[in-house]
A and B are shown apart, each in its own frame.
Chain A
Amino acid sequence: MIANLRRLIGWEGFLFVVLILVMIVNTGRAPAYLSLSNQINLFQLSIEKIIVALVMTFVIVNGEIDLSVASVMGLAACLIAVLFESGVPMPLAILAALIAGVCCGAFNGLWVAYVGLPSLAVTLAGMIGYRGVARILIEDRSIGGFPSWFTALGQQPLLGPFPLSLILFATLFVLALVILQFSGVGRLIYVIGNNAAVARYSGIDTPRLKLGVFVASGLIAAMAGVLLAARLGAVRGNTAEGFELDIITMVLLGGVSIFGGVGNLVGVGLAILVVLNLRNGMSLLNVTGNVQTGVIGMLLILSVLLPNLTQMARERLQRRTAQRKEVQIETETPVSS
């Protein structure tokens, strides 16, 4: 337990050092980097992804994965656009998008929690299927021209210099932190992620909790889709396509184990900061988008590979010292007998 705790602190410490390094390099490259407006802008550009990363942490800690979030985001955005286009008032359209998100999440969750299908397969189907529904709705058009209050919510500052999405993210982060790290429900999510069978035998309603996590994932993804529509001001069939890579990367980089039960939101928060600042720094250096994605991909692999390699090296070292001790004992035995 203590060793585990130390390893976690170690990982977060490592992320913190990386973050400071990235920030120092960025500041050296561009003095404007540390300005409040650039810092807000840096959040603003990926705000939808990092909001979904929060709920993805719940899903992965719970021992599952949700590959369909980006498609749910796209579906919510397309639904709003199509409803708005056909004359539905904007608040109603937003409500419909959020309900659609809940439905998608519940659909995923029912198959995973109550039928017992692997979440990888179910949400892969969801990823293709929900994107497909979005395409049925919007076909190959691009819909924009939203009311100005709606796009202003996505683009303009709401409270002081902070836009709505950033305030939402901060609120959700605190909320998620309290639920996952300090509440009974949070403990249960960890227990299920660690060992679902044990959780079930100790009387935890595992399926209901799993379903709840997937519903939350769908709802938050839909909300992020609404924010994305507001920020971009126009929606297409491929809106938010491929976002799942960035979202999952942030969570795993934060020290959350893909096998569930390990990791916490502080780590994920730090990982989010690292990824955002790294991307911002690369943009300042005129590195193109696809190279940025490639670098994030490398970061994803390294974030698991490096700790593994150090652990393997440590194990090998321990084995060698143990062998040396055995040899010593063997040579000592004849003397004692």
Chain B
Amino acid sequence: MTTWRQRIHPEQLREVSLVVLIAAALLIFGWQIENFLSARTFNRIAASVAIVGMVAIGQTLVVLTRNIDLSVGSIVGFTAYFVGSQLAANNAMGAPAAVALAAAVGGAMGLVNGLIVAYGRVPAIITTLGTLAIYRMLLINYANARTVTVDSLPAWVVELSRQTLFSIGDFAVRPLMVATLAAVVVFQFVLGYTIFGRRLYAIGSNPDAARFAGLPAQRMVLTAFTLCGMLAGLAGFLFLARFGTITAVAGQGIELESVAAVVVGGVNTFGGSGTVLGALLGAFLIDLLGQGLLRWLGISEFWRGALLGLLILLAVASDAVILGWLRRLWRGGAEVDHDR
């Protein structure tokens, strides 16, 4: 009777419920909207989820440790512009060098965040609210009102977002999405099965206990922020590949989209639970609902913000309510409820 309860934890049902929600949304939209379940819709969603999803992976790592990184949008913008201008100046630069450059620049910015948070003991929200402004300032000064244009970039960069690796029916699988999926697989494994990953959860669920157990909490937080910066840097490269034209405002607002994806994806803002797969599904669900609802209700693009806000609130609320209910159910079945 209680065996299935012991084997499955309420927290693990999150991804399942997200998949169910996505399936339901697909069914409803497919039934109500003509031509919704087409390759075009899929490709459009995949292209934008690739970028937000990459950032959301890093955001998950940081949120798991009970922190938050609001500077990722500025990091995406800075790396997109910086790598773009380097590529424009030196068309011979190859793909590996460009990707490494993006990861290094982003990683350095993440490292600064991590040092201030972990070793300077400044709350993450203060630190990254500050670096959000500082990194953007660096970008605006560096860009100096110039723009990276598609024509100045080597052809292979722009090709990345159009190329089809292989296609399943009409659904084209593009390199950008593959990169993000690969990163999700890697970090899903890292979080689930490596010492680093398990320690990250330990720190988030109880920082004091983790410290008393001798975990190097400061170093772990520093690593989480650095990885988050690197992933944001990679997302910056994807951003460059997707849009080609980069101005100083590039990537603005991605910090909120990534936090939204993470929260909808079931990563607890108090740390300690959630997965990168959930965050990716969250990003996918948000984009799917955004595209679908706008077309279904026949409303304009201006409704997007209001819907997104409502969605985040509903996700957080239902997460808290349902999880509390499930936990009670689990406890109630397994043993006497000690709380009452």
Q: A residues within 8 Å of B by Cβ?
A: 65, 111, 115-118, 120-122, 124-133, 135-136, 139-140, 237, 245, 248-249, 252, 258-259, 288, 290-291, 293-294, 296-298, 300-301, 304-305, 308-309, 312
User: Secondary structure of the A side of the interface?
Assistant: helix
Can you list 28 A-B pairs with a CB-CB distance of less than 8 A? Answer: A115-B321, A118-B269, A120-B269, A121-B269, A121-B313, A127-B256, A128-B309, A129-B306, A129-B309, A131-B309, A132-B308, A133-B305, A135-B306, A136-B303, A259-B123, A290-B137, A291-B140, A291-B141, A293-B133, A294-B138, A297-B129, A297-B137, A298-B134, A301-B126, A301-B130, A301-B131, A305-B116, A309-B120
Residues on A with beta carbons closer than 8 Å to the beta carbon of B313: 111, 121-122, 125-126, 129
With beta carbons under 8 angstroms apart, the residue of A122, A248, A301 that contacts B122 is A301
Interface pair B256/A124, CB less than 8 Å apart: yes
Q: How large is the interface on B (under 10, 10 to 19, 20 to 34, 35 or more residues)?
A: 35 or more
Which residue of A has the minimal Cβ distance to B309? Answer: A129
**CA of A281 to CA of B51 in the docked complex: distance in angstroms?**
40
Residues on B with beta carbons closer than 8 Å to the beta carbon of A288: 140
Interface pair B316/A121, CB less than 8 Å apart: yes
Residues on A with beta carbons closer than 8 Å to the beta carbon of B116: 301, 305
Interface pair B131/A135, CB less than 8 Å apart: no
| Interface status of B26 (Cβ within 8 A of chain A) | no
Which residue of B has the minimal Cβ distance to A303? Answer: B126
A/B pair count, beta carbons within 8 Å: 131
| Interface status of B177 (Cβ within 8 A of chain A) | no
Per-residue interface assignment for chain B, residues 306 to 335, with 1 indicating a CB less than 8 Å from any chain A CB and 0 otherwise: 111110110011001100000000000000
Interface pair B130/A293, CB less than 8 Å apart: no
Which residue of B has the minimal Cβ distance to A294? Answer: B137
User: Secondary structure of the B side of the interface?
Assistant: helix
Known contacts A117-B316, A296-B133; A305 and B122 CB within 8 A of each other: yes
Interface pair B270/A300, CB less than 8 Å apart: no
Residues on B with beta carbons closer than 8 Å to the beta carbon of A120: 68, 125, 269
**CA of A305 to CA of B38 in the docked complex: distance in angstroms?**
52
A154 to chain B, nearest CB (A): 26
A301 to chain B, nearest CB (A): 4
**CA of A108 to CA of B131 in the docked complex: distance in angstroms?**
27
| Interface status of B146 (Cβ within 8 A of chain A) | no
| Interface status of B302 (Cβ within 8 A of chain A) | yes
